[in-house]
Chains A and B, each alone.
Chain A
Amino acid sequence: MEAKNLGKWFGKRKVFDRINFSLEEKSSLVVTGKNGSGKTTLLKILCGFIRPSKGEVLISFNGKTLNQDEGRNLLGLVMPDLELYGELTALENLVFLSRIRGLDPDKDKLKEKIAMVGLSEREDDLVFSFSSGMKQRLKYAFALLLDPGILLLDEPTTNLDQEGISLVDQIVSWQRERGILILATNKKADLKYGDQTIQLGN
């Protein structure tokens, strides 16, 4: 994944400018900065949710630059601005999200993902009834659905208890060994996860 000269303005307000980085497999980037410095905006641009005011993001796989659809299928994402469907159960959410991504949903494997985040007893409950910590855990089950090549985490431990935070630690370590990890955080302790660091708001 490569970001070339990224800049973003909302009207006249500059959020950030001249962001450059290049990430290979088994590498990681920590994006840090104060509230409002543009961490979430940068992650949204990397995912293709919003367009940068200048610059571009390139995702390559096996030497081939991917188009937006192909690139999107490599991404796993956990962020506060991304919620799962409250009117569906945990399992129904993952079945729907697999299907719309063009996967043949194997319910046993989906149940494994739900069990991995510690929600197996609640897999048939509507997500509406989940606590915020449980919703956060379910977001990790979704993010890991495709064993993503690129995992983007925004404030990854929000709402999680100690057990949940340990789970995130495991996921982060696992991702750093096999793909690309991009983590946006305010916590100094999380800086250790990054091979590269970008400080926004300077």
Chain B
Amino acid sequence: MATRPSSWATKSAWLLAKDLKCEFRTRYALNAILMFALTTLTVVSFSMGVFSLNPRITSSLFWLVIFFSSMSGLAQVFVKEEESRTVNLLKLVANPSTVLLGKLLFNLVLLLLLEIVVVPLFIILMNLSILNLWLFLSVLVLGSLGLVCATTIIAAIISKAHVKGALFAVLSFPILLPLLITAIDGTRLSIEGETFSAGWSDLRLLISYLVVMFTASILLFDFVWSE
């Protein structure tokens, strides 16, 4: 077999393709995410749908649905490799940066699929009118990228632990809190129809969070990956 100088990105794409193929054959994370999302959405819409909620509560509920649904699947990305004992195989054939990028992309695809289902359903069930759609979409995209970066590195850390669930909660709470507070505030502004410049401080915070989290993931992952 001929050797070809595959780039870091190409190898990560192969890892993503493998993960997607495995996921669609088993639906290990996808089923958990979608079922959790639909259950939460149904509960929220039945209990709150009849009231006219203010934008602060609506945006909090929106991010809570996304956060808790995604947690049930995104955290599994490394746990699954550990549990099926394929983690050493991956360590042997791929360098840490390839693995990190591949797993980040996989979690991003999962979150995208979740949001394709959840966002329109939430808007319909909660009878939500978003007055500044571009601000809403910007907050959603940046918030999702930040969420993926943070959960992927937390997932890598907890996959080594015996009490994964407890450790995930302990680690994710302080790390994700700034992201959630900012995303909720940005979403509220978009629902209220504030201008893009009014939401700029939230967007700036979300961009900073994303840059910090991505950089920290790259720096940390080598140590986390190699026991």
A interface residues, Cβ below 8 angstroms from B: 44, 47-51, 68-69, 72, 75, 77, 79, 81-88, 92, 96-106, 109, 126, 142
Within 8 A of A (CB), among B76-96: 84-86, 88-89, 91-95
Q: Does B2 contact A (CB under 8 A)?
A: yes
CA–CA, A69 and B98, complex, Å: 11
A48 touches B226 (CB 8 A): yes
A-facing mask of B125-162, CB < 8 A → 1, else 0? 00000000000000000000000000000000000000
Q: How many chain B residues have a CB neighbour from A under 8 Å?
A: 27
Tell whether, in the assembled complex, residue A77 and residue B92 are in contact, meaning their CB atoms are under 8 Å apart. yes
Measured between beta carbons, the chain B residues less than 8 angstroms from A84 are 86, 89
Residues of chain B lying within 8 A (CB to CB) of residue A101: 93-94
Q: Is B163 an interface residue (CB 8 A)?
A: no
Given A47-B92, A102-B4, A102-B6: A88 and B21 within 8 A (CB)?
Answer: yes
Q: Nearest Cβ in chain B — how far from A180, in angstroms?
A: 16
Contact status A48-B91, CB under 8 Å: yes
B169: CB under 8 A from chain A?
no
Among B11-19, B51-59, B205-213, the stretch that binds chain A is B11-19
CB distance from A107 to the nearest CB of B (A): 10
Q: Does B3 touch A at the CB level, under 8 Å?
A: yes
A100 and B85 contact, CB distance less than 8 A: no
Task: Check if B124 is an interface residue, CB within 8 A of chain A.
Answer: no
**When the two chains form their complex, are residues A100 and B22 in contact, meaning their CB atoms are under 8 A apart?**
no
Indicate whether B1 reaches chain A with its CB closer than 8 angstroms: yes
Q: Are A75 and B22 in contact (CB under 8 A)?
A: no
Q: Within 8 Å CB of A77, what residues of B?
A: 88, 92
Q: List 18 A-B contacts (CB under 8 A).
A: A48-B91, A49-B92, A49-B227, A72-B95, A81-B85, A81-B88, A84-B89, A85-B22, A87-B25, A88-B18, A97-B93, A99-B11, A100-B14, A100-B15, A100-B18, A104-B1, A104-B2, A105-B1
